[in-house]
Structure 1
Amino acid sequence: MRSWVLGAVVLLAGCSEAGPDLRQVAFSELPGWRQDRVAQALPAFRRSCEVIGRMPAERSLGGEGALARTAGDFAAPCAAAAQLPETDDAARDFFESRFTAHAVGSDTLTGYYEPELRGSPTPDARHATPLHARPPELVEVDLGAFAGDLRGRRTAGLVRDGRLHPFPSRAEIMAGALDGRGLELVWVDDPVDAFFLQIQGSGRVRLTDGRVLRLGYAAQNGHPYYAIGRALLEAGVLTRETMSMQAIRAWLAAATPEEAAALMARNPSYIFFRPLDLPAEQGPLGALGAPLTPGRSVAVDRTRTPLGTPVWVVGGPSLRQLTVAQDTGGAIRGAARADLFTGWGEAAAEQAGRMRDRAELFVLLPK
């Protein structure tokens, strides 16, 4: 997926942006570095290398200033990783010899997952909520290509009379703005599940005939994301201490269908999907184009941190592990902000929904 992956908790309630505090550190200064099973991050790194290896050497992977890197910067470490034994000692030596570690500050670590919904290829009384393919008239714009101070910012819309106009909002799409055009990929049985699928950016839909349809991010309608958890905070329904994805879902489940629809419609952002031909045991595709690995893939702000780089994450009371920057998120802003992919299924959803930890990030840059 080109992830519009949004942190399942902070994103729902709003998030802060932290500025970078880049300084090089020794690997011995990384908390827990000697204890992590770093070899478990090698498959994720190699999958990134497969994608990066097909790019022109000058292709930017993101980052700014001292953090900026191109595909060519990864040629030597990727070649070495392909021949590496999958042992923790060999992996640790590899990262220590091929990379330099840099502390980039602290911010919030959230989690995201790949949800599974129940659906049907045709609508019926039970399956009445559509998931849409990308409309052909939708135009995406990289604003940074036109103004340097807008680097990393994008929008979308439709062209009419030679001008770019806003695309229909979520409320307008829910009211039928796209009806009758054959854009429906599948129909699901729960509008709340469909809403949270859009927050996660990809997912699985188990069809009535037993087949599983994998869906990935295709596009976004260009409207800004509004965190509906913020509305519940402002109304005094939830507090920052009780805020979680589970708490928001519980409120939506207890509300009338009209109240739930009205709250979800306050978020004008809307995600379009595309079918993916992926094995059941493989994670969804991240923004880099590589499959995500549970516990070892993170979404980052690519304007600050290059995709493909290993990232050492220190979060909460016990999380100390090596991950790989393979994804992005609409509300992942700042060099030290990250979203950890937890996998798929109920356990992954539970872990992601409650993850909201202060975390330190250390980016490993190829020498």
Structure 2
Amino acid sequence: MKLTLLRLVVTALIVGTLVACSTPPAPSPSAPGDLPATRPTAPMALPGDTGPLPPPLSQPKSRWTPVRWAELPGFTEDALHEAWNAWIKSCERPVAPFTALCSEVRQLSIASGDEQRAWMMARLQPYRVETTDGNPDGLLTAYYEPLMDAARQPGNGFNVPIYRTPAGFGARRPWYTRQQIETLPEAQAALQGRAIAWLRDPVESMVLHIQGSGRLRVMEPDGSTSLVRVAYAGTNDQPYGSIGRWLLDQGYTRDATWPGIRAWLAANPQRTNELMWTNPRYVFFKEEPLAGMDAAFGPKGAQGVPLTPGRSIAVDRQSIPYGTPVWLASSGPQVQLSRLVLAQDTGSAILGAVRADYFTGWGQEAGDIAGRLKQNLRLWVLWPR
């Protein structure tokens, strides 16, 4: 479809959308406790959104209830162009039924926010995501890509390895535990020569293993420094154990944040291995170049496309399929969010109907946000009509 024809699709709705932009939206909650436990009264429809609603849809872990666009908090205010790059990334690995819309999504990358909004109203139907028994409330957390100093060779304080997948990986599942990897000669033999780089701090290594990818400022043997990404390549298939939860359960600390964990280790350095070995799971990585446009995006998520800071989320794929545009609303002590995001990733802890992990980007500031964010959530999937 030519861009001129595409604009005809949205022209009928543009005027109504502009009128809607001058109308104050329904107030969004100011704190997690303000989210009503019961289903809200249906809001007044935006101009152009007056047709009959379709029937509800079902997923293995969720129920989707059709709603009017006016129910989406902040729909008329979001800077949609910020999400469009994430949407175009999803179109690199399109999934049905969004494949047919991707040519229009790409053409609209240079459209105005009002044109993008009108196109969404013409082409998509919002559905509120609920549990199978009708609860629309859920949990939002966040994740990020840590940025760490590393060295190609061990020494000078760099003594914690980051490994590629071991030789013969896959022949033995589950593979050795974290403790066995660090102590058994046969495990060490399989990892001989497989180190990508070396970190200074075992806590940094654990952060990297939990986040699943990271950026490294690597000191090369010739003294130069390079910036690379280490991306998730696999695990030893052992169960995950939270080192923070272990400290809490043992009564060793009341602060299971990363600063709290570091403080406990500073007071008990001889117990570092004991603490780290409470998490049997071990992650292996692969090295990827990080230059040009690659540096402007995060690692590839489970959909197979690079993540966009602030616009990509991880979901339970039995509730929301990969590649789905989602309206996210979360209001709490850390952030206030009402925006368009794309479901492009998943995670072992991201389970449930109304559950999302929000990708905040990379570096210290992104890590600070991700480490604190845990608050109420509502989601609406935007599904083709």
TM bucket by the smaller chain?
A: 0.7 to 0.9
TM-score, normalisation: structure 2:
0.75
> CA 1:245–1:36 in 2, change beyond 3 Å: closer, same or farther?
farther
Percent identity over paired residues: 41
Confirm whether residue 29 of structure 1 aligns to residue 71 of structure 2: yes
Q: Which moved more, 1:89-98 or 1:320-329?
A: 89-98
Deviation by residue 1:8-59 (Cα, 9 ceiling, x = unmatched): xxxxxxxxxx96343111111112211211221100000110122xxxxxxx
Equivalence map 1:317-332=2 (5 Å)? 317=332, 318-332=336-350
Equivalence map 1:44-63=2 (5 Å)? 44-52=86-94
Q: Which amino acid aligns with 1:301?
A: D
Residues of 2 paired with 1:269 and 1:76: CA distance?
40
The match for 1:101 among 126, 129, 135 is: 126
> CA 1:236–1:24 in 2, change beyond 3 Å: closer, same or farther?
farther
Describe the SS at the equivalent of 2:153: coil
Q: Which moved more, 1:349-358 or 1:283-292?
A: 283-292
Q: Which amino acid aligns with 2:122?
A: S
Describe the SS at the equivalent of 1:22: strand
Deviation by residue 1:231-278 (Cα, 9 ceiling, x = unmatched): 233234455xx55444334434x3433323212211111111001123
> CA 1:278–1:334 in 2, change beyond 3 Å: closer, same or farther?
same
Residues of 1 paired with 2:159 and 2:104: CA distance?
51
Confirm whether residue 190 of structure 1 aligns to residue 198 of structure 2: no
The match for 1:39 among 77, 81, 90 is: 81
Confirm whether residue 220 of structure 1 aligns to residue 235 of structure 2: yes
Equivalence map 1:1-367=2 (5 Å)? 20-52=62-94, 71-84=95-108, 85-104=110-129, 105-139=136-170, 158-159=171-172, 165-176=173-184, 177-179=187-189, 181-208=192-219, 209-239=224-254, 243-252=256-265, 254-279=266-291, 280-317=295-332, 318-367=336-385
> CA 1:230–1:321 in 2, change beyond 3 Å: closer, same or farther?
same
Describe the SS at the equivalent of 1:174: helix
> CA 1:138–1:86 in 2, change beyond 3 Å: closer, same or farther?
farther
> CA 1:167–1:321 in 2, change beyond 3 Å: closer, same or farther?
same
> CA 1:319–1:72 in 2, change beyond 3 Å: closer, same or farther?
closer
Residues of 2 paired with 1:270 and 1:350: CA distance?
24
Describe the SS at the equivalent of 1:333: coil
On the 8 A contact 2:297/2:309 being kept in 1, the answer is no
Structure 1 unaligned regions, length at least 5: 1-17, 53-70, 140-157, 160-164
| Residue 365 of structure 1: how far off its partner (Å) | 1.9
On the 8 A contact 1:111/1:341 being kept in 2, the answer is yes
Q: Which amino acid aligns with 2:226?
A: R
Residues of 1 paired with 2:305 and 2:258: CA distance?
26
> CA 1:23–1:269 in 2, change beyond 3 Å: closer, same or farther?
same
On the 8 A contact 1:246/1:353 being kept in 2, the answer is no
> CA 1:218–1:86 in 2, change beyond 3 Å: closer, same or farther?
farther
> CA 1:238–1:355 in 2, change beyond 3 Å: closer, same or farther?
farther
Residues of 1 paired with 2:73 and 2:364: CA distance?
30
Q: Which amino acid aligns with 2:277?
A: A
Structure 2 unaligned regions, length at least 5: 1-59, 130-135
Residues of 2 paired with 1:283 and 1:216: CA distance?
10
> CA 1:130–1:100 in 2, change beyond 3 Å: closer, same or farther?
same
Deviation by residue 1:199-222 (Cα, 9 ceiling, x = unmatched): 111111111222112110000111
User: How many residue pairs align between the two structures?
Assistant: 306
Describe the SS at the equivalent of 2:261: helix
Residues of 2 paired with 1:326 and 1:211: CA distance?
28
Residues of 1 paired with 2:198 and 2:188: CA distance?
14
Residues of 1 paired with 2:361 and 2:112: CA distance?
23
Residues of 1 paired with 2:331 and 2:73: CA distance?
12
Residues of 2 paired with 1:274 and 1:185: CA distance?
8
TM-score, normalisation: structure 1:
0.78
On the 8 A contact 1:115/1:349 being kept in 2, the answer is yes
Describe the SS at the equivalent of 1:343: strand
Q: Which amino acid aligns with 1:170?
A: R
| Residue 107 of structure 1: how far off its partner (Å) | 1.7
On the 8 A contact 2:245/2:256 being kept in 1, the answer is no
What RMSD, in angstroms, separates the aligned Cα atoms of the two structures? 2.0
Residues of 2 paired with 1:356 and 1:245: CA distance?
15
**Highest CA radius of gyration, 1 or 2?**
2
> CA 1:250–1:41 in 2, change beyond 3 Å: closer, same or farther?
farther
On the 8 A contact 1:225/1:330 being kept in 2, the answer is no
